[in-house]
A and B are shown apart, each in its own frame.
Chain A
Amino acid sequence: MTYWNTLAPTLTTMSADAGEYTTFGIVATIGLAVLVAGLIMGALWAQHNTIKRQQGARYYVVPGSSRITYADETLVDTYVTSVKVANSSSDRD
């Protein structure tokens, strides 16, 4: 009886964990498959329309004419942020 009293909560926890993992696995599998299939089909669809405006005028830059004439970097602010790092042993408690 004492043995069962010790084992029962452990089995219950394991069963709950397994259920969570299964749900996670199914959602992740379907989500990833939908995402990748959507990206591939989207890329195929995008090939159907090649009518797009030019963003800039890079074709028309006179070779050798593009040059940086001034560059400066000034430190204006410094601050420190901190985040409490979860202790791995305490996570399981």
Chain B
Amino acid sequence: MSDVQIKCPSCGAPLNFDAPSGEMKCDFCGSLFTVPETKIPASESQPGWTEPPPTYLDESTGEHLATFHCGSCGGEIVGNPDTVSTKCPWCNNNFVSTSQLTRTRVPDRMIPFAMTKEQALAAFQARMKNLWLIPKDFRNVKVEDIQGMYVPYWLYDASVAGQATYRGERRRSWRSGDYQYTEHRIYQVERECEVSYLDVPVSGTSKITGDITEAIEPFDYSKSTDFAPGYLSGFVTNKYDIDSEAANPRALTRMQHTTSEVMRQSVVGFHSVQETSCQIQPAYGDLEYVFLPLWLMNITWNGQNYHYAMNGQTGKFVGNFPVSWAKFWGGFFALLFPLAAVFGITIFAIVIPQMAS
């Protein structure tokens, strides 16, 4: 069996066989192709991002790293060989080094940590202070599981050409006799645009949800540097388990969204606008494999896991804090009665007398 990935001739995303139509379908742009159409001669190059040939740690530096396998959740992380045990950042179980890596792919570049563990903890406490609905017990929770991680990302460059059509409506109203007339003028609006993107990141790991790895964006890539094993000291990283082919539809989706916004924002002067079609054609640029720094915290409280993350470069903190129902309903009713008094006085003293007259 060949595992060659057939790509969409229109947009470059992977094509899959669509059983109902009996054709090859692009899940990204929706194009359909007959199976013979998608046969790619061996000599023909396929459209796609340009990825530099990967280099491996032992080949470039002669150094090895240790890999840790979590027996509980299956997570795999990479760290210094002198680390003998650590906690799984995904499920919080202890596990020990089981083997030495001999072929660890070196990232094309990385951003070193600029934020310390203490700053991450301070950010957690500061965030918690501003939340009114947090349970009292949770404020006293101790963060014991905090880990600095280099998360593998893929960075995509592309110049995107977009075409979109809209249905725009301009209205003009006037009154004649007992009738209000409205003239509706319907336009077909067309827009084309070009937008260039640099370093659109997509996480290369399935161990951290895409929500977290995207929520901590953006990173400042101008401060990125070449990989050096020394940067990993005191931190862990995990190998990518989502390859660049599998990750690129997400990059395209994000580019399409922004390209669509650019075109939509140029459609002005209408009372209503409805998008009827939108397509993008990316011209692929470079693709890079990078390590980006992230502080990851797990807290188990009342039988539930809460995840927090901080951008290890900029300090942007994200997380999901529990809500106290007692505080929520207490706050709701504490607001309800004064609001009802204010609205009641306004309605009965001003609105109703005007309606009655």
Which residues 2-44 in A have Cβ within 8 Å of B in the complex?
Answer: 17, 21, 24-25, 28-30, 32-34, 36-38, 40-41, 44
Which residues 79-99 in B have Cβ within 8 Å of A in the complex?
Answer: none
A81 partner residues in chain B, CB cutoff 8 A: 181-182, 184
B333 partner residues in chain A, CB cutoff 8 A: 37
Given that A17-B356, A25-B352 are contacting pairs, would A56 and B320 also be in contact in the complex, using a CB cutoff of 8 Å? no
Contact with B along A54-79 (1 / 0, CB 8 A): 11111111100111111111111111
A30 partner residues in chain B, CB cutoff 8 A: 340
Interface of chain B, main secondary structure: mixed
> A28, A52, A67, A70: which contacts B347 (Cβ < 8 A)?
A28
Given that A28-B343, A58-B261, A65-B196 are contacting pairs, would A83 and B215 also be in contact in the complex, using a CB cutoff of 8 Å? no
Given that A32-B339, A52-B215, A65-B194 are contacting pairs, would A21 and B352 also be in contact in the complex, using a CB cutoff of 8 Å? yes
Q: Is the CB of A85 within 8 A of B194?
A: no
Q: Is the CB of B344 within 8 A of A50?
A: no
Q: Is the CB of A61 within 8 A of B215?
A: no
Q: Is the CB of A29 within 8 A of B340?
A: yes
A56 partner residues in chain B, CB cutoff 8 A: 254-255, 257-258, 261
Q: How far is the CB of B257 from chain A (nearest CB, A)?
A: 4
- Most chain B CB atoms below 10 A, which of A40, A50, A76, A78: A50
The distance in angstroms between the C-alpha atoms of A21 and B353, with both chains bound, is 9
The distance in angstroms between the C-alpha atoms of A48 and B130, with both chains bound, is 10
> A24, A51, A52, A83: which contacts B307 (Cβ < 8 A)?
A51
- Most chain B CB atoms below 10 A, which of A60, A62, A72: A60
Q: Is the CB of B215 within 8 A of A53?
A: yes
A68 partner residues in chain B, CB cutoff 8 A: 191-193, 262-263, 266
The distance in angstroms between the C-alpha atoms of A81 and B181, with both chains bound, is 6
- Taking residues whose C-beta sits less than 8 angstroms from the other chain, chain A's interface range is 35 or more
> A17, A41, A51: which contacts B332 (Cβ < 8 A)?
A41
Q: Is the CB of A83 within 8 A of B197?
A: no
B271 partner residues in chain A, CB cutoff 8 A: none
A78 partner residues in chain B, CB cutoff 8 A: 183-186
Q: Is the CB of A85 within 8 A of B195?
A: no
Check B318 for interface membership: any CB of A closer than 8 A.
yes
Contact with A along B337-354 (1 / 0, CB 8 A): 101100110011001100
Q: How far is the CB of A11 from chain B (nearest CB, A)?
A: 15
The distance in angstroms between the C-alpha atoms of A17 and B178, with both chains bound, is 27
B181 partner residues in chain A, CB cutoff 8 A: 80-82
> A17, A33, A48, A75: which contacts B134 (Cβ < 8 A)?
A48
Given that A44-B133, A60-B200, A85-B175 are contacting pairs, would A52 and B191 also be in contact in the complex, using a CB cutoff of 8 Å? no
Check B323 for interface membership: any CB of A closer than 8 A.
yes
Given that A21-B355, A56-B257, A70-B191 are contacting pairs, would A48 and B322 also be in contact in the complex, using a CB cutoff of 8 Å? yes
Q: Is the CB of A62 within 8 A of B180?
A: no
Check B236 for interface membership: any CB of A closer than 8 A.
no
Q: How far is the CB of A10 from chain B (nearest CB, A)?
A: 14
Check B188 for interface membership: any CB of A closer than 8 A.
yes
Q: Is the CB of A48 within 8 A of B347?
A: no
A73 partner residues in chain B, CB cutoff 8 A: 168, 187-190
27 contacts between A and B (CB under 8 A): A24-B352, A25-B347, A29-B348, A33-B343, A36-B339, A41-B328, A41-B335, A48-B131, A48-B323, A50-B317, A50-B320, A53-B210, A55-B254, A55-B257, A56-B261, A59-B218, A66-B194, A67-B194, A68-B191, A73-B188, A74-B188, A76-B188, A77-B186, A83-B180, A84-B178, A84-B180, A85-B175
What 9 additional pairs, Cβ within 8 angstroms, besides A36-B339, A85-B175? A33-B340, A49-B321, A51-B307, A52-B318, A62-B198, A68-B191, A80-B181, A83-B182, A84-B179
Task: Give residues in A with beta carbon < 8 Å to B.
Answer: 17, 21, 24-25, 28-30, 32-34, 36-38, 40-41, 44-45, 47-62, 65-85, 87
